[in-house]
Amino acid sequence: MKKQVVVIHGGDTFDTYEEWFEYLKKKPLNFERIKSPQGDWKDGLGEKLGSDFEMVFPQMPNKQNAKYAEWKIWFETIIPYLEPEVMLIGHSLGGIFIPKYLSENKFPKTIRATFLVAAPYDDKDSEYTLGDFALPSDVSGFERQGGKIFMYQSEDDPMVPFSDFLKYQKVLPAATFRTFKDRAHFDQKEFPEIVEDIKGAA
């Protein structure tokens, strides 16, 4: 049986519709970026892992103005299709969705490992809001259900403060933490470290 890997992408969230509207009006457009598909390491992950792995890439609702309640509903429609020993990956907003969900809900399948990339912890040190994605004060449910937990953060991330990574280190002492200096928000094409960790955890 193939080893399943579920990848939850990132997104943006806003406290009010007015904030979302202002963001749309002021967001600078990189026209060159939208002239061709912009893939990152997630797109090539299945090829790098090989035929022993089955990749699952759910497109979460309204990622540009994401609401946790909507993501929760959609995620739960996927759960019946998942096999025991599934592995979960969350990038950016997806990286806080997974620990929030597992902290607040009982997951019906065994999770072999969880990989969080550039995951926000809270929005106290950030210019971005997390809206209803904010973590509960107790994340022991995530620690208990998440299997082997790996976290990745770059010191030069322009979106998620490095202080958030340090906060995760305090509440998840048994997790594996990997620090980088020049990966920004991990939008690069290659991410060999996570490939190696997934294979090692499988």
Q: How far apart are CA 84 and CA 4, in angstroms?
A: 9
pLDDT of amino acid 4: 92
Q: What is the CATH number of the domain that holds 33?
A: 3.40.50.1820
Cβ 12 vs Cβ 63: under 8 Å: yes
- Amino acid 82 reads L
Residue 103 confidence (pLDDT) = 98
> What is residue 35's predicted lDDT score, i.e. its pLDDT?
53
For residue 94, the model assigns a pLDDT of: 96
pLDDT digits (tens, 9 = 90+) for 28-65: 766 665 555 557 899 899 999 999 999 999 989 888 88
Q: What are all long-range contacts of 54-59, with beta carbons under 8 Å and residues at least 24 apart?
A: 54/2, 54/3, 54/4, 54/5, 55/5, 55/7, 56/4, 56/5, 56/6, 56/7, 56/81, 56/82, 57/7, 57/9, 58/6, 58/8, 59/9
Could you tell me the residue range of the domain that residue 62 belongs to? 3-201
Considering its fold, how many domains does the chain have in total? 1
pLDDT at residue 33, as a whole number: 56
Question: What residue ranges of the chain have pLDDT lower than 70?
Answer: 20, 29-38
Identify the pLDDT of residue 152: 98
